[in-house]
Amino acid sequence: MTARSRKTVGSFSLALIAALAACTSYTEIPIETPIQPKLDVSAFQRIFIAGFIAGANEDVDANMETVRLLRSQLRNKGIMRVIDADTLPLLEIAKQNSGEATAPPVPDQQAVTPPQPEQDPTKAPVFNDEKDLEPYQHIFANVAYWKRIGEEFQQPLIVTGAVLFAPQQRSGFVQREQEVYDPFGRRSVVPVRTYMERKGFVLRPTFIFIDGRTGETLHTETFREEILYNASQQTPALSSYFELMDRLLPAFLNTLSAQKIKGTRTLLK
Amino acid sequence: MSARHLVIGLLLALASASTVWADQRGDAKKQVEFGIQVAQRGLWREAIYRWERAAQIDPTYAAAFNNLAVAYEHEGQLAKAREAYEKALALEPNNALVRQNYDLFKEINDRALQKDGRQL
């Protein structure tokens, strides 16, 4: 190849690269998408995270931990004035409330009374699925009770609900990536399907927003998050609880205040 | 009129149409590029104006609709953003960058639309 032809080929290559760059010209840009709150809380100046129906599972007191976490998150974000009061023992209150409602007026009432969720009153029940929570949920519809709580705390927005945090086990095929090397020593990553025993936790909180002025439910929101680890991995339940709560906190906060979601998009020419 | 004249006439009409189209695309491209410059400085409303102009000048310019969608998304105008992304994808269904933007947008939009949770 002569010097001239090399020069021609070089120029042509440069032109081709420039043309390709022009064809695929793009710019990445950071954006912040504002998401409007789901609930209009302008009528409230104070918020009371009252407590949650939650059982005793895996060394995590889901009631206390959820109350503590939500209060601190709301304080950090400056969303309304957070009332710092004792957490309501909702499970006990629901049990008492249920007892009052189904007080046996006749001796054979036992035969028609729905079975009580927990026989041993000194031991907190263990909740493994949604059905276990059902016997206590009437407390959320008790307008008089919540109105009374509202009056006690100067009519705030009350947040209550139920938190199911339970262990789970699952086995089956999972896809994972594996490094392989070809005869020339070149590395590549290929997907491999492997049978695995996995265990972890499921977190299913239901947040109920109650108007402290009337005792009526304004909004209900249910989330579900789960995490699974290799069966041999020992992960503390509390770490898993916080990891799962961390995933759904933005959505919880977005119920009360506008959120900005950061991301990157591509602008084209 | 002979067949030769007809062919010449058609070719001239085609050439003049393609010149008009090239002019339109050139004008629209200027608006798009200026829009990108101002968006990078955070002047998103001006960028929207520029990209809307570009889309008016050349309604087949997918980049203008893509950029407009990004700007609407940034301004929280999610319904308009969806419309603009869908227009961009209709114009260029195989454009991976527009598709990627749209997929990211959908995640946020779905979250915003999830107004009510399930009742206990």
pLDDT in tens, A107-151: 333 333 344 444 455 556 667 677 777 888 889 999 999 999 999
Report CB contact under 8 Å: A267, B36: yes
Does position A195 have pLDDT exceeding 70, yes or no? yes
pTM value is: 0.65
* Residue in the block written with tokens 């009770």: A145
Domain-embedded: residue B2: no
Nearest to A251 by CA among B35, B29, B71, B117: B117
Structural domain total, chain B: 1
B-chain residues within 8 Å CB-CB of A36?
Answer: 76, 112
Report CB contact under 8 Å: B116, A223: no
Domain segments of chain A: what residues? 33-268
- pLDDT score, position B41: 95
Domain-embedded: residue B21: no
Q: Please report, as a single letter, which amino acid is at residue A237.
A: A
Report CB contact under 8 Å: A29, B111: no
A-chain residues within 8 Å CB-CB of B98?
Answer: 268
Mutate to test the interface with B, among A33, A127, A256 (most CBs of B within 10 A): A33
A202's tokens: 């499921």
Predicted ipTM of the assembly: 0.81
CATH code for the domain of B87: 1.25.40.10
Domain-embedded: residue B36: yes
- pLDDT score, position B1: 55
**Rounded to a whole number, what is the distance in angstroms from the first to the last CA of chain A?**
38
Nearest to B120 by CA among A150, A229, A221, A155: A221
Report CB contact under 8 Å: B70, A263: no
Domain-embedded: residue B49: yes
Domain-embedded: residue B16: no
Residue ranges of A 34-53 with Cβ closer than 8 A to chain B? 34-36, 38
pLDDT tens digits, A1-35:
555 555 555 555 545 444 444 455 899 999 999 98
Mutate to test the interface with A, among B58, B70, B98, B110 (most CBs of A within 10 A): B70
What is the span of the domain harbouring residue B38?
27-115
Domain-embedded: residue B66: yes
pLDDT tens track, chain B, 120 positions: 567 777 776 666 666 566 666 777 888 999 999 999 999 999 999 999 999 999 999 999 999 999 999 999 999 999 999 999 999 999 999 999 999 999 999 988 887 776 444 333
Domain-embedded: residue B76: yes
- Give the distance from residue A182's alpha carbon to the nearest chain B alpha carbon, in angstroms: 30
- pLDDT score, position B11: 65
- Cα separation, A35 vs A141, in Å, equals 30
- Cα separation, A255 vs B120, in Å, equals 17
Domain-embedded: residue B9: no
